[in-house]
Amino acid sequence: MTTPGLEQSQTYTFAASSADPMTVRRLGFGAMRITGPGIWGDPADRGTAIEVLRRAVELGVDFIDTADSYGPEVSEDLIREALYPYEGLLIATKGGLTRQGPDQWGPVGRPEYLRQCVHMSLRRLGLERIDLWQLHRIDSLVSLEDQFGVIKDMQAEGLIRHVGISEVTVAELVASQALVDIVSVQNLYNAGNRASEALLEHCTANDIGFIPWFPLGNRALVAEDGPLAAIAVRHDCTPAQVALAWLLQHSPVMLPIPGTGSVAHAEENCGASGVTLDAEAIAELNALTPTE
């Protein structure tokens, strides 16, 4: 397995052309899996969750992605306990999804609710301003003008620094950009699921950060005897590191955020930044038949 650490990791600058850019290492950490089963409740071992967060930062991660709905609230609380006052870190969070139980999610985009989401995230994280706040899902029952109107208001009020959006099409992104500046998009994407390829191409062409959630795909994709195994052997790394390295090489705006509740897996994931896939490996990965 490639030695952990992000010393070789390239960086990405959100809002590079603005007067208020933010630069991070491209391999981040997704803080969804530090909660309980079904992304519901506390983790089985709170101490381990704290250790995972701190170890990721020790290894060079400076971009942490979370959401108020993870737990709910649990992930943000753990991040504050483990990492506050966040020196040198960009803590991104999301709002707009409600929870009814394990693995249950429902979008609510009413302006008053989105404002509540931001204020409560600020309180839990101990911040005066959220550097990157992302609308977790567009609510089809609320107009875009109402949803992004309140987001733009909160940005003007200094509560939000930059705005992102999650699980959208190219058309939805363009429509959203007409209402507020969007610096990042977070969609499901990995080597085995490229349904958002057109969106990634749009983001690459327009220098919009693309944050792929579920970057390792399903267990079969990164299994020791799976489709990436031979590539991993040739590159002296693990299949999971191959999957992450491919994402990093696939587009300069890609910011994978692998999440885990295990210190060992966090170290393995961070080691992907030291893997450079050769042309043969890239061709093999590009030719993979989607499995999800």
* Domain assignment present for 5: no
* Domain assignment present for 2: no
Q: pLDDT tier at 29 (50, 70, 90 boundaries)? A: very high
For the whole model, what pTM was predicted? 0.96
Look at residues 139, 142, 145 and name the one whose alpha carbon lies nearest to residue 95: 139
What's the CA gap between 263 and 50, in Å, rounded?
10
Identify the residue whose tokens are 């509540």. 116
**Alpha-carbon 38 to chain mean position:** 18
* Domain assignment present for 92: yes
For residue 3, the model assigns a pLDDT of 61
Tokens of 18: 């603005």
pLDDT at 289 over 90: no
What's the CA gap between 96 and 291, in Å, rounded?
29
Q: pLDDT tens digits for 83-126? A: 999 999 999 999 999 999 999 999 999 999 999 999 999 999 99
Question: Within a 13 Å sphere around the CA of 220, how many CA atoms are in the beta-carbon half?
Answer: 7
Which of the residues 70, 84, 86, 189 is marked catalytic?
70
Q: Is 38 left (phi over 0), alpha (psi -120 to 50) or beta?
A: left
* Domain assignment present for 72: yes
Tokens of 291: 């499995």
Domain enclosing residue 42, as ranges: 11-286
Q: pLDDT tier at 1 (50, 70, 90 boundaries)? A: confident
Q: How many domains does the chain have?
A: 1
What's the CA gap between 178 and 160, in Å, rounded?
18
For residue 258, the model assigns a pLDDT of 98
CATH code for the domain of 112? 3.20.20.100
Q: pLDDT tens digits for 122-135? A: 999 999 999 999 99
- DSSP-based three-state secondary structure for 3: coil
- Answer yes or no: are the C-beta atoms of 190 and 215 closer than 8 Å: yes
pLDDT at 7 over 70: no
DSSP 34: T
- Answer yes or no: are the C-beta atoms of 32 and 66 closer than 8 Å: yes
* Domain assignment present for 4: no
For residue 6, the model assigns a pLDDT of 76
* Domain assignment present for 186: yes
- Annotated active-site residue 113? The verdict is no
- Answer yes or no: are the C-beta atoms of 117 and 125 closer than 8 Å: no
pLDDT at 192 over 80: yes
Mean pLDDT of 214-233: 96
**Interior angle at CA 231, CA 227 and CA 237, nearest 5:** 115
* Domain assignment present for 6: no
Supply the mean pLDDT for the chain: 96
What's the CA gap between 292 and 287, in Å, rounded?
15
Q: pLDDT tier at 9 (50, 70, 90 boundaries)? A: low
Pairing mode, strands 90-95 and 29-30: unpaired
Residues found in the chain:
292
What's the CA gap between 274 and 261, in Å, rounded?
22
pLDDT at 241 over 80: yes
* Domain assignment present for 55: yes
